Structure 1
């Protein structure tokens, strides 16, 4: 991997006591690799002394790039800021709480050198609370793997290695940094994982809670929608709409049957309301599908974005 340069990307939020030890460990590992590198530390609107520590560190080490965000945007936007500023060929994000071990970086790079495009860390012996953190994480990883079709044991591990060309056009929102391997798979990337060391937190407090799990579930729904219906939203909205209209039609027939053969008045049952409700839902869903189709076409055509990705060409003339 010596012909490549590395960009280590570290989002930070209230981690002032971890900055210097983390930098020292990174220097110890990267200094032995004879590989050009840069360390990008993103201060995500910290309220402690993180900003001051980063300024001092940047003055001491010119290979440390510091990005200060105006407020706390969250881990994903902070990581996106680091990715946008990265100049290396290989991007390695990691947490700033000293729970990821920089000594695992050569292991990730070695796996990357086998021909993979994304190597994800797997915290086999995770040093977190078994019920509050580990159990929900295992359940979430199982669900994400099943729904996405990209089978990884540990989506939540920030320590990963990416070839820059794979994720250079990826835009991240919400809590979607953990889904980068899924985005990369859409681009035709080869994804794998390796076991990495996980240390217990020594300084500071965890920023993760049950609200993060809820956000991840909602973002997973978005990812699944983008994967399956981004270029054909009418298939989802229209399909639901047609089913609703069909149910409305069946309820209407039942309503007529009861009126003719059972002498039941229309107002004696809730069927007229059910028919109206399902018909309106179906109509609105089909209408939403049409709007989504227009938006999708506007997105691709206004920016000249193709609906396909070319891997290689032969004897093809480039277009200006």
Structure 2
């Protein structure tokens, strides 16, 4: 469907009751800038899509009060906490803007950077990521973040300093093309670049957290690591899994066959015992693994032609959200 608003701002939140009132104030003040309104040039100007990721405090009530007096404020509440990736996936699905901006609800992202992000989009880019060049976070967040960004930049070849910044701007086509699951919100620039979109970044202001505690923890690092390998695989071999598993199969077979030939030659020409040598079992194991890798690659080729897709989240409530031209107040 074509865009019906100039801008969609997507804000996932989880237990941010204290931060949300000030966040609304900051966003509305940022959207009053004449330069930003000139960039959008569409009526209605914007929508504010708030995604409640299963909050257990009064966060959703704060948004409901705003939605009751402001039609552009829309709420999607999840049945439980599904994570940021699911929240962004829901926001992308229901976004109606020509441009889409995502930002966190903890007041650390600066809404006044929206104008610069959209201006950069109009320079011909499809996704513009914020770069928190001066981070206002403790070492427990900055060090893992630096390791993550350095590793991702090294393995993907995408020259971004801050892949996981919550403040990003997209053209509509980008968000509608993304398929997110797991913890893949960290790798959105990688997925967009793989789809052929132009990706860049600009420095943005970063503020210290004012209320509550960070939702970041060590438990998030391992799922993120596994998703990193998933992204590397799907961005290179998703459509041709046999190229990956076939390469492993060929390597394993060549080494295993070479070992078996070596043991055979020693047995025939040098009368060396073969039946109880560990190197013989290694050769046999590698040949078996080669067959298994080949079978996995073949199954992968078959599966990608018949893949079922699920949303990865369950919606409990929707307020002022349009789907198929119908406004849902409860769903």
Pairwise TM-score range, normalised by the shorter structure: 0.7 to 0.9
The question of 1:114 aligning with 2:123 is answered yes
User: What residue in structure 2 maps to residue 92 of structure 1?
Assistant: 101
Describe how 1:91-240 pairs up with structure 2 within 5 A.
Answer: 91-130=100-139, 132-240=140-248
Write out per-residue CA displacement over residues 103-146 of structure 1, whole angstroms, 9 at most, x where no aligned residue.
1111111211222111110001000113x111221121111112
1:255 maps onto 2:256 in alignment: no
Alignment correspondent of 1:30: 31
Residue 148 of structure 1 deviates from its aligned partner by: 1.4
The CA distance in 1 between the partners of 2:5 and 2:65, in whole Å, is 28
Once residues 95 and 264 of structure 2 are traced to their aligned partners in structure 1, the CA distance between those partners, rounded to angstroms, is 67
Which whole-Å CA distance do the structure 1 matches of 2:125 and 2:258 have between them? 53
| Distance in 1, Cα, partners of 2:257 & 2:301 | 26
Corresponding residue number in structure 1 for 2:322: none
Deviation track 1:184-229 (CA, whole Å, cap 9, x = no partner) reads 2223222111110101111011111222222222212111111211
Local SS of the residue matching 1:114: coil
> Could you tell me how far apart the structure 2 residues matched to 1:268 and 1:295 are?
41
1:284-314 residue CA offsets vs partner (Å, 9 max, x unmatched): 11111111112234459xxxxxxxxxxxxxx
Aligned to 1:76: 85
List alignment gaps of at least 5 residues for structure 1.
301-320
Which is bigger in relative contact order (C-alpha 8 A, separation at least 6)?
2
Q: Calculate the TM-score normalised by the size of structure 1.
A: 0.88
Question: Where does the alignment leave 5 or more consecutive residues of structure 2 unmatched?
Answer: 309-331
Contact residue 5 and residue 96 of structure 2 kept, 8 A: no
Q: Does 1:41 align with 2:50?
A: yes
- Mapped pair 1:276 → 2:277: no
State the shift of 1:261 in Å.
Answer: 4.5
Task: Confirm whether residue 17 of structure 1 aligns to residue 45 of structure 2.
Answer: no
Other structure's SS at 2:19 match: helix
Aligned residue in 1 for 2:317: none
- TM-score between the two structures when normalised by the length of structure 2: 0.85
CA distance in 2, matches of 1:201, 1:296: 43
Aligned length: 297
Please, which moves more after superposition, 257-266 or 174-183?
A: 257-266
The match for 1:52 is 61
Cα distance change on mapping 1:78 and 1:218 into 2, 3 Å: same
2:323 corresponds to: none
* Alpha-carbon RMSD: 1.8
